[in-house]
Chain A
């Protein structure tokens, strides 16, 4: 075989390879999008269902064969949701509880995660392990004891009864500890040498680096305030939160719910939450682009 033929074949090979690579890339991109679109549809379905249910009449909602689009759009459900429940009060209470518990919880979580991830002390593993172990017992068993505690503290019908018992989440301490562990120790040592205080170091280095995780925690914690039901009903009947306010307003004597109106109310109160998420999303997705830091 002559040299020129060889080179031509090589050239062809190279062309072929780049072509293949290109194809692969295009195919990969299409595949990625197709996958994301399908998953998005699946994830979106309940949301869509919530919205159309909120616009149906009660008889249509109860139909054996569910309709995918309301035969008759009942905006009145939203008006009824607005008037039946004292939404403004529910909303204010929920925002107070949501914001206060999220902020305090973040402080506690950050401090604890920092201690577990960065500081060496006797019994660290033991305490951390014990904390994890508490996650393994169904929390509903705690309700009665905690209710008695809160009653004894004379916290009934106060905001602290809604906030304090749930401030510590070992779930989030664990999550943030995992994140902190990824941040190289050298930075901390350097900070120590410079005489930077722990708090300053936390604020300047750890928190910015762990921001996406902290925002995830914020979202989950806020969502918690929006969804909690049994506990507020017990301890703070005069400080109703969104979910119990709504669920309790739309039942008849037989305890049956008027689901379309309930869904309308849920959709209404979820709207501000959604806006907050849109805003926070930017920060999650910004990520960490600083250089000089081990990922």
Chain B
């Protein structure tokens, strides 16, 4: 029965294949910054813009409040917003929407996503908008950012907009998280241990902890890929570069050396990771009855999971949690990975200047509004991106309560804010997400696989990862 179909289908493939030659438009000019039209933003012309994010119900409540605030300033801008689900969903959804020309005007984004939207030349390059000193309508306010506003941004967060290899500004930071070192302060104090600031100190502390509690993992590290990327950055050994459409630089001897060292420490039982342990390392950290870890490197956004239990009979906390910046390889080149959403403005063939300007005004509002930044930080446990957020009274009061027990979230935010100079994100291009995935696999293989020849194992793992990236 199907035989005839086989023939038909195969001929069809050939015929349609020939058709394929046709189609496809011609190439347009290269990426250029968006040019602000001379007419500027028209305060009287109603305009509708859309905003896609991944906020849960609670954060959407905060957003709604501030959309209302924004509308007091700009009553003719109507904003509809929508959650696209989780991080895994939003990228694919917007990719498809770009193909249909129905992308939202503003989107939550990570650098890897923006790199993808960039291929379609769908991201509005913000440089001219930021620099514009044109007045908005007949108000005194300018379209762009004032020098004071620019200076208010935490610089390392602001610079995340420029990691696409051409030094142009593609995104604005919204709120951020980072990796921090959680430690059992009660245990550290009781045993006279010093909180490590460098990796060498860390391994020393691990050794001491192992002597005190031989059954424990002194350190739990959540994400192997972050660890690899952070070490590359701290030691300046090379990871990737967005230049020339993306380069993979991580296959080098310096990186192999630190991976080999990590393997030795892993084999000694000094640390474990989420994948190697088989569950959240935060469980090891908060659990006081079973196997433990006394230090844990994880996202500052996950602080609520690192909180010590207070289900003891008298309701007191089992121990006090300390929070510190992660250890460094070189104190003159301090680097801590930064995560959390930024905002990008998207455009298609039917996007009007009025929409782009309205979107920019809203992005500017969200990223520079002291009250929004403060309230959003309290609701999400993420860090604000402007220094002046602390001027919000509620926020200042909230931060003042920071401690290692019930107000651990505030404490994490505080530590994050104190180390504002250290943040980095790795450069983004089509393939940067593959690189991240591959170094994660590489770490797992190199740390845990059984072998007689460690160097061979490591060499092969690096070769495999590079081959997969460059395929």
- Which listed segment binds A: B86-94, B114-122, B200-208? B86-94
Partner pick for B380 among A130, A132, A151, A252, CB 8 A cutoff: A252
Known: A64-B279, A144-B96, A255-B87. A130 touches B54 (CB 8 A): no
Residue contact B2 to A64, C-beta cutoff 8 Å: no
Q: How far is the CA of A85 from the CA of B85 in the complex (A)?
A: 13
Does B16 reach chain A (CB closer than 8 Å)? no
- Do residues B301 and A254 form an inter-chain contact, with CB atoms below 8 A? yes
Smallest distance from the beta carbon of B144 to chain A beta carbons, Å?
Answer: 27
Most chain-B Cβ atoms within 10 A of its Cβ — which of A62, A130, A229, A252? A252
Task: Give A74 Cβ to nearest chain B Cβ, in Å.
Answer: 14
How distant is the Cα of A64 from the Cα of B293 in the complex, in angstroms? Answer: 13
A250 to B58, CA, bound (A): 9
| B residues 266-283 in Cβ contact with A at 8 Å | 277-280, 282-283
Q: Cα distance A108–B96 when bound, in Å?
A: 29
Using CB atoms, name the residue of chain A closest to B53: A253
Establish whether residues B59 and A233, one from each chain, have CB atoms under 8 Å apart when the complex forms: no
> Which residues of A, 107-163, contact B by the 8 Å Cβ criterion?
125-126, 128-130, 132-133, 143-144, 147-148, 151, 156
Kindly state the separation between the CA atoms of A167 and B4 in the bound complex, as whole angstroms: 27
**A256 to B36 Cα, complex, angstroms:** 38
Interface string of A240-261 (1 = CB under 8 A from B): 0000100111111111111000
- CB contacts under 8 Å to B, within A143-188, are 143-144, 147-148, 151, 156
CA distance A156 to B88 in the complex (A): 23
Interface size of B by Cβ–Cβ distance < 8 Å?
Answer: 47
With CB as the reference atom, state the residue of chain B lying closest to A143: B96
Pairwise interchain contact B93-A234, C-beta atoms closer than 8 A: yes
Q: Does B190 contact A (CB under 8 A)?
A: no
Structural contact, B2 and A129, CB atoms closer than 8 A: yes
Interface membership of B73, Cβ < 8 A: no
Interface size class of A (residues with CB under 8 A): 35 or more
Rounded to whole angstroms, the CA-CA distance of A62 and B302 in the bound complex is 13
B9 touches A156 (CB 8 A): no
A247 to B86, CA, bound (A): 8
Q: Which residues of chain A are within 8 angstroms of B82 by Cβ–Cβ distance? A: 237
With A147-B100, A151-B102: A63-B283 Cβ-Cβ less than 8 Å? yes
Closest chain A residue to B7, Cβ basis: A126
* A185–B97 CA distance with the chains assembled, in angstroms: 50
Known A-B contacts A128-B1, A234-B97; A248 and B83 likewise in contact (beta carbons under 8 Å): yes
Nearest-neighbour CB distance to chain B for A148, whole angstroms, equals 5
Tell me if B84 counts as interface (CB < 8 A to partner A).
Answer: yes
Identify which of A84, A126, A250, A253 gathers the most chain B CB atoms within 10 Å of its CB.
A253
Which residues of chain A are near B102, meaning CB under 8 Å?
Answer: 151, 156
Interface status of A230 (Cβ within 8 A of chain B): yes
The digit string for B66-93, where 1 denotes a CB below 8 A from any CB of A, is 0000000000000000111111110011
| Set of chain A residues within 8 Å of B279, measured between Cβ atoms | 62-64
B299 interface residue per 8 A CB criterion: yes
How many pairs of A and B residues are in contact by the CB < 8 Å rule?
108
Contact of B96 among A85, A130, A147, A254 (CB under 8 A): A147
In the complex, what distance in Å separates the CA atom of A73 from the CA atom of B92?
37
- The answer to whether B100 touches A148, judged by C-beta atoms less than 8 angstroms apart, is yes
Query: Which residue of chain B has the shortest Cβ distance to A240 in the bound complex?
Result: B82
User: Does B287 count as interface, using CB distance less than 8 angstroms?
Assistant: yes
Q: Across the two chains, which residue of chain B brings its CB closest to A145?
A: B99
- List chain B residues, Cβ under 8 A from A128: 1
Interface presence of B57 (CB below 8 A):
yes
Once the chains are docked, how many angstroms separate the CA of A62 from the CA of B282?
Answer: 9
Q: How far, in angstroms, from A249 to B84 measured CA to CA in the complex? A: 10
Q: How long is the Cα–Cα vector from A144 to B340 in the complex, in angstroms?
A: 28
With A156-B102, A249-B56 already in contact, the answer to whether A125 and B4 are too (CB < 8 A) is yes
B305: which A residues are within 8 A, CB to CB? 59, 62
User: A234–B85 contact, CB under 8 A?
Assistant: no
* Residue pair A234, B5 in contact (C-beta under 8 Å): no
* Alpha-carbon gap, A253 to B282, bound state (A): 19
Interface pairs (21), CB distance under 8 Å? A59-B305, A63-B283, A125-B1, A125-B4, A128-B1, A129-B5, A133-B2, A133-B9, A144-B99, A144-B100, A151-B100, A230-B92, A234-B97, A248-B84, A248-B85, A250-B57, A251-B54, A252-B56, A253-B54, A253-B175, A254-B301
Q: Which residues of A contact B (CB under 8 A)?
A: 59, 62-64, 84-85, 125-126, 128-130, 132-133, 143-144, 147-148, 151, 156, 229-230, 233-234, 237, 244, 247-258
Known pairs A230-B93, A244-B85, A255-B54; list 5 more (Cβ under 8 Å): A132-B2, A143-B96, A151-B101, A248-B85, A250-B56
Chain B residues engaging chain A, CB cutoff 8 angstroms: 1-2, 4-5, 8-9, 54-59, 82-89, 92-93, 96-97, 99-102, 175, 177, 277-280, 282-284, 287, 299, 301-302, 305, 339-341, 380, 382
